[in-house]
Amino acid sequence: MSTIRLTMAQALTRYLSRQMTEIDGERLPIFGGVWAIFGHGNVAGLGEALWHERERLPTFRAHNEQAMAHAAIAYAKANMRRRFMAATTSIGPGATNLVTAAALAHVNRLPVLLLPGDIFANRIPDPVLQQIEAFGDGTVSANDCFRPVSRYFDRITRPEQIIPALTRAMQVLTDPAECGPVTLALCQDVQAEAYDYPESFFAERIWTPRRPRADRDELKAAADALKAAKKPLIVAGGGVLYSGASDALARFSAATGIPVCETQGGKSALPDDHALNMAAVGVTGTEAANRLAAEADLVLAIGTRLQDFTTGSWALFGAARKSIIGLNVQPFDAGKHRALPLVADAREGLVELADAIGNWKAPESWTDNAKAGKAEWQKEATKATAASNAALPSDAQVIGAVQRTLGSDVILLHAAGGLPGELHKLWQAGAPGSYHAEYGFSCMGYEIAGGLGAKMARPDQEVVVMVGDGSYLMLNSEIATSVMLGLKLTIVLLDNRGFGCINRLQMATGSQSFNNLLKDSRHETLPEIDFVQHAASMGAIATKAPSIAELETALAQAKANTRTTVVVIDTDPLISTGAGGAWWDVAVPEVSERAEVRTARANYDERRKQQRVGE
Query: Mapped to the 3 state alphabet, what secondary structure does 399-448 carry?
Result: HHHHHHHHCCCCEEEECCCCHHHHHHHHCCCCCCCCEEECCCCCCCCHHH
Beta-carbon neighbour count of residue 218 at 10 Å?
19
Asked, colleague to colleague, whether 3-206 and 386-570 share their fold, the answer is yes
Largest CA distance in the chain: 79
CB 159 within 8 A of CB 8: yes
Average pLDDT over residues 231-242: 98
* DSSP tag of 557: H
The answer on pLDDT for 519 being more than 70 is yes
Is residue 499 exposed (0-12), middle (13-18) or buried (19+ Cβ within 10 Å)? buried
CB 516 within 8 A of CB 574: no
Between CA 407 and CA 62 the distance in angstroms is 31
The answer on pLDDT for 54 being more than 90 is yes
In the chain, where are the structural domains located?
A: 3-206, 216-375, 386-570
* DSSP tag of 538: T
Q: How high is the pLDDT of residue 579?
A: 78
Is residue 16 exposed (0-12), middle (13-18) or buried (19+ Cβ within 10 Å)? buried
Q: How high is the pLDDT of residue 615?
A: 59
- 416-472, pLDDT tens digit by residue? 999 999 999 999 999 999 999 999 999 999 999 999 999 999 999 999 999 999 999
Secondary structure (DSSP) of 179-193: -SEEEEEEEHHHHT-
The answer on pLDDT for 337 being more than 90 is no
Q: How high is the pLDDT of residue 580?
A: 83
Between CA 202 and CA 320 the distance in angstroms is 57
- 383-398, pLDDT tens digit by residue? 999 998 889 999 999 9
- 117-126, pLDDT tens digit by residue? 999 999 999 9
How sure is the predictor about 614, in pLDDT bands with cuts at 50, 70 and 90? low
Q: How high is the pLDDT of residue 1?
A: 85
Is there a cis peptide before residue 127, judged by omega within 30 degrees of 0? Answer: yes
**pTM for the predicted model, two decimal places:** 0.97
CATH of domain 216-375: 3.40.50.1220
The answer on pLDDT for 613 being more than 80 is no
- Residue type, position 179, single letter: C
3-state secondary structure of 533: helix
CATH of domain 386-570: 3.40.50.970
CB 218 within 8 A of CB 149: no
Between CA 615 and CA 611 the distance in angstroms is 9
The answer on pLDDT for 271 being more than 70 is yes
Q: How high is the pLDDT of residue 612?
A: 79
Q: How high is the pLDDT of residue 439?
A: 96
Q: How high is the pLDDT of residue 568?
A: 98
CATH of domain 3-206: 3.40.50.970
What percent of the chain clears pLDDT 90, i.e. is strictly above it?
95
Average pLDDT over residues 541-568: 98
Q: How high is the pLDDT of residue 377?
A: 95
Q: How high is the pLDDT of residue 555?
A: 98
The answer on pLDDT for 590 being more than 80 is yes
What percent of the chain clears pLDDT 70, i.e. is strictly above it?
99
Q: How high is the pLDDT of residue 581?
A: 85
How sure is the predictor about 184, in pLDDT bands with cuts at 50, 70 and 90? very high
- 4-49, pLDDT tens digit by residue? 999 999 999 999 999 999 999 999 999 999 999 999 999 999 999 9
The answer on pLDDT for 362 being more than 90 is yes
Virtual torsion, Cα 10, 13, 17, 21, nearest 10 deg: 140
**H or E, element range at 117:** strand 112-118
How sure is the predictor about 2, in pLDDT bands with cuts at 50, 70 and 90? very high
**H or E, element range at 56:** none
3-state secondary structure of 206: strand
Q: How high is the pLDDT of residue 385?
A: 96
The answer on pLDDT for 109 being more than 70 is yes
Average pLDDT over residues 142-150: 98
Average pLDDT over residues 302-330: 91
3-state SS, 469-507, equals: HHHHHHCCCHHHHHHHHCCCCEEEEEECCECHHHHHHHH
The answer on pLDDT for 494 being more than 80 is yes
Strand partners, 582: none
How sure is the predictor about 322, in pLDDT bands with cuts at 50, 70 and 90? confident
3-state secondary structure of 609: coil
Between CA 3 and CA 268 the distance in angstroms is 49
Between CA 536 and CA 542 the distance in angstroms is 6
Closest CA to 191 of 22, 324, 7: 7
Q: How high is the pLDDT of residue 348?
A: 98
How sure is the predictor about 508, in pLDDT bands with cuts at 50, 70 and 90? very high
* DSSP tag of 44: I
State whether the Cα torsion 381-300-414-410 is positive or negative. Answer: negative
Between CA 204 and CA 108 the distance in angstroms is 29
Average pLDDT over residues 209-238: 97
The answer on pLDDT for 369 being more than 80 is yes
Secondary structure (DSSP) of 564-591: -EEEEEE--SS----SSPPP------SS
State whether the Cα torsion 72-73-76-77 is positive or negative. Answer: negative
Average pLDDT over residues 300-316: 95
